[in-house]
Structure 1
Amino acid sequence: MDKPKREAILDLAKYVNERIRVKFTGGREVTGVLKGFDQLLNLVLDDVEEQLHTEPLPSTRQLGLVVLRGPTLTLLSPVDGFEEIANPFVAQDA
């Protein structure tokens, strides 16, 4: 019996050569240009910049070309159209 071919959950082909944001388990976050991917969501990003959440001021670090392992990813989003909003589940200070 032939098994049906597994297809990727995400269609990342439309984001090749586009800048994307990736968050990992553990809280690390990077942005870079998507150059390639596979069915396990392993990614190749170029011009990667890591956002460091350091006190007192956040900073960034240039990493260049990197390979990201799919099992460690928690969030993928295009940088264009990305907008941070207030958390609706946290009580706002009056």
Structure 2
Amino acid sequence: MSRKENALDLAKFIDKGVRVKLSGGREVEGTLKGYDQLLNLVLDETTEFLRDKDDPLRITDETRSLGLVVCRGTAVMMVSPTAGTEELATNPFLEPGAAE
């Protein structure tokens, strides 16, 4: 392979909903409008999921609207589609009887 290729092909997510985890713990969800080879992302109709004041590692149900956002590629940790994903009520990897 002579030319550098992205491990993630974001073209299929253009104009679709994505959830982005950023370094520092912030999480946002919006419509992907554009990106570049450095993984800088442009999201529209963006919502930020706020963290718990007592436990900064936990995301709450509280949100705030951000509108149009540019996420720097160096801060992007994960990009996932919102369609076809769901939160599981229990951890399927826990042994039966083990406490969470």
CA deviation string 1:1-59 (max 9, x = no partner) = xxx43222211000000000000111110000000000111000000000012358630
The 5-angstrom pairing of residues 1-94 of structure 1 reads 4-54=2-52, 58-85=61-88, 86=91, 88=93, 92-93=98-99
Aligned length: 91
The gaps in structure 2 that reach 5 residues or longer are: 55-59
- TM-score, L = length of structure 1: 0.83
Name the structure 1 match of 2:57.
none
SS of equivalent residue, structure 1 residue 7 = coil
Which stretches of structure 1, 4 residues or longer, exceed 4 Å deviation after superposition? none
Q: What percent of counterpart residues are identical?
A: 47
- TM-score, L = length of structure 2: 0.78
Shift of 1:83: 2.0
Measured at CA, do residues 93 and 51 of structure 1 come closer, stay the same or move farther in structure 2, by a change above 3 Å? same
